[in-house]
């Protein structure tokens, strides 16, 4: 018998890419997506709606009854639902807290009550906070720099408790600056790569916060899809009740990334520099050796390949 998997946030950018991969697996019988479409989009999963292995529930993880309905009869949970964005959390910390902490607790508790042992959840590199140590190693974190970072750290604390008290197998994946197809370039909280892609295609100068020399370990979404599957299906007893960095293990600056995207279209437009953004870390680089060792993680797409793939997707799908 194949597995039945509850995928929260499955209409989102990362979640829908995970949904595609899970649907394609022979050892998966059902993918049930729970999404309130606050940041997710039906167009991301439209092609799956008629698939015999796919179900969609429009609902909110803040609602306990919805979480129970979604978890019923499931074998595993892949929990991607969250309200992302550091700036959004600074503007509206209460909603970020409700979704990311209360919502996640609801999902963990529904898993417990429905006897679902394996729960993989999206954690965040924002948990490293003000720690200046590079590369980032899972056991060494600093103080959070934003309400968003607080919420993602609390998720890890709850996961530890649920693992210890209730025997759940929880695996947290600390994402580092994920990008790729279906990441939304529109709205006040759009991420930097889709914004830059849009700028190159529209020939409009983008804003760069600060001097652009801040660095990030940008991670193409298919690498994230890979590790979610590894975490869901691992039978290594040492791999569960852990958190892992999910990244490439390399970093580039915002300026380097902008110049590379410009080069794809031979564009000569210049970025406009403005004040650094509140709550942002200066540099980010992951040590991914733990994920390699315990889960067999092997990121296959580097940042420049990923940028090309993402840029071509935006050009084809969004900006024509």
DSSP conformation letters of 271-301? -EEEPPPTT--SB--B--HHHHHHH-----S
Positions in the chain short of pLDDT 50: none
pLDDT, residue 144, reads: 94
pLDDT, residue 161, reads: 98
Domain boundaries, position 109: 3-178+220-247+286-300
Per-residue pLDDT reduced to its tens digit, 25-72: 999 999 999 999 999 999 999 999 999 999 999 999 999 999 999 999
CA distance 294 to 169: 14
Q: Give the total number of structural domains in the chain.
A: 1
Token duo for residue 191? 């991420």
In a domain, 207, yes or no: no
In a domain, 315, yes or no: no
Q: Indicate if 297 belongs to the active site.
A: no
- Indicate the length of the chain as a whole number: 320
Are the C-beta atoms of residues 145 and 126 closer than 8 Å to each other?
A: yes
In a domain, 319, yes or no: no
In a domain, 312, yes or no: no
In a domain, 215, yes or no: no
Q: What is the dihedral of CA 33, 34, 37, 42, to 10 degrees?
A: 20
In a domain, 205, yes or no: no
In a domain, 59, yes or no: yes
Per annotation, catalytic residue among 121, 148, 153, 158: 148
CA distance 308 to 315: 10
pLDDT, residue 233, reads: 98
The verdict on pTM exceeding 0.85 is yes
CATH of residue 290: 3.40.50.720
Are the C-beta atoms of residues 17 and 222 closer than 8 Å to each other?
A: yes
pLDDT, residue 121, reads: 98
CA distance 64 to 244: 28
Strands 252-253, 178-179: pairing is unpaired
In a domain, 22, yes or no: yes
């Amino acid at each position: 018998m194949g597995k039945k998997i509850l995928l929260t946030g499955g209409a989102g950018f990362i979640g829908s890419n995970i949904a595609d991969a899970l649907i394609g697996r022979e050892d998966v019988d059902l993918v049930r997506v729970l999404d309130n479409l606050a940041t997710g989009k039906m167009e991301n999963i439209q092609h799956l709606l008629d698939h015999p292995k796919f179900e969609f529930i429009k609902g909110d993880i803040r609602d306990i009854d919805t979480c129970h309905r979604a978890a019923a009869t499931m074998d595993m949970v892949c929990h991607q639902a969250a309200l992302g964005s550091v700036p959004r959390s600074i503007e509206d910390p209460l909603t970020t807290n409700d979704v990311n902490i209360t919502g996640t607790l609801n999902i963990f508790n529904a898993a417990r009550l429905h006897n679902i042992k394996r729960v993989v959840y999206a954690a965040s590199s924002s948990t490293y906070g003000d720690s200046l140590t590079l590369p980032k190693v899972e056991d060494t974190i600093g103080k959070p720099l934003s309400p968003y970072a607080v919420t993602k750290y609390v998720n890890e604390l709850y996961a530890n408790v649920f693992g210890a008290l209730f025997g759940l197998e929880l695996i947290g994946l600390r994402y580092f600056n994920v990008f790729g197809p279906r990441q939304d370039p529109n709205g006040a909280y759009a991420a930097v790569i889709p914004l830059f892609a849009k700028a190159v295609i529209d020939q409009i100068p983008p804003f760069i916060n600060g001097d652009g020399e801040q660095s990030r370990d940008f991670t193409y979404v298919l690498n994230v899809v890979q590790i979610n599957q590894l975490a869901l299906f691992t039978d290594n007893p040492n791999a569960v009740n852990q958190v892992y960095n999910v990244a490439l293990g390399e970093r580039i600056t915002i300026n380097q990334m902008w110049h590379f995207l410009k080069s794809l279209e031979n564009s000569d437009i210049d970025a406009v520099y403005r004040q650094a953004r509140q709550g942002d870390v200066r540099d980010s680089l992951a040590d991914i050796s733990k994920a390699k060792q315990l889960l067999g993680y092997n990121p296959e797409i580097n940042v420049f390949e990923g940028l090309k793939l993402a840029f071509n997707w935006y050009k084809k799908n969004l900006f024509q």
